[in-house]
């Protein structure tokens, strides 16, 4: 067991974990932040995407011990004051939620993408979200949601 402190959604959390615990397992099992989903556990589906220092990463591939002291943001940390973030609200408004399993990863990825590219084309949105798989195959509304969020940001 190792003792580490993770900064998740602006809050420092002291944990005692096995050295081999993934960030995803630490978030879900130890911190009870279940928005990031465990699907493929191989880094190919994007359901576990979180922001690490502002960059989207697959939490299933990252050891918790390797991210101590870095800024981690999960889907639960995107909104403020009990309100949805603009991207979360855009996904609701565009009807992009569907079953919801993959949506947290898509929303986190899309949030980081718009921070880098506030005026994306539909093709750029598709490329940016290509690491996030949806088994409901509802990508059209997802792309609509990202466009809606971009339009609301004044970009």
Instruction: Say what the pLDDT of residue 154 is.
Output: 54
Higher model confidence: residue 102 or residue 123?
123
Cα separation, 125 vs 106, in Å, equals: 11
What homologous superfamily is domain 2-77 in, according to CATH? Beta-grasp domain (3.10.20.30)
* pLDDT tens per residue, range 58-71: 999 999 999 999 99
Q: Is the pLDDT of residue 152 over 80?
A: no
Q: How far is CA 74 from CA 32, 47, 126, in A?
A: 12, 11, 22
- The alpha carbon torsion through 104, 109, 111, 116 (nearest 10 deg) reads 180
Q: Is 109 exposed, middle or buried (0-12, 13-18, 19+ CB in 10 A)?
A: buried
Max Cα distance, the chain (Å): 48
Domain parsing of the chain, residue ranges: 2-77, 86-152
pLDDT tens across 17-51, in order?
A: 999 999 999 999 999 999 999 998 999 899 999 99
CATH classification (class only), 86-152: mainly alpha
Q: How many CB atoms lie within 10 A of CB 153?
A: 14
Q: Can you give the pTM of this predicted structure?
A: 0.92
Quick one: DSSP state of residue 84? P
C-alpha distances (whole Å) from 87 to each of 93, 103, 114 are 10, 11, 9
The pLDDT of residue 155 is 46
Residue 153: is its pLDDT beyond 70? no
pLDDT digits (tens, 9 = 90+) for 76-113: 999 998 899 999 999 999 999 888 888 999 999 999 99
């Amino acid at each position: 067991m190792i003792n580490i402190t993770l900064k998740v959604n602006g809050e420092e959390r002291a944990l005692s974990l096995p050295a081999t615990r993934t960030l995803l397992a630490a978030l879900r099992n130890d911190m009870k932040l279940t928005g990031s989903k465990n699907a493929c556990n191989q880094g190919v589906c994007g359901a576990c995407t979180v922001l690490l220092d502002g960059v989207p990463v697959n939490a299933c591939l990252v050891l918790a011990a390797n991210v101590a002291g870095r800024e981690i943001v999960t889907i639960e940390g995107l909104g403020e004051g009990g309100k949805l973030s603009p991207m979360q609200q855009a996904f609701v408004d565009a009807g992009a939620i569907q079953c919801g399993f993959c949506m947290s990863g898509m929303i986190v990825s899309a949030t980081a993408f718009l921070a880098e590219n506030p005026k994306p084309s539909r093709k750029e949105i598709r490329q940016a979200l290509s690491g996030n798989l949806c088994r409901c195959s509802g990508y059209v509304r997802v792309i609509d949601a990202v466009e809606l969020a971009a339009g609301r940001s004044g970009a």
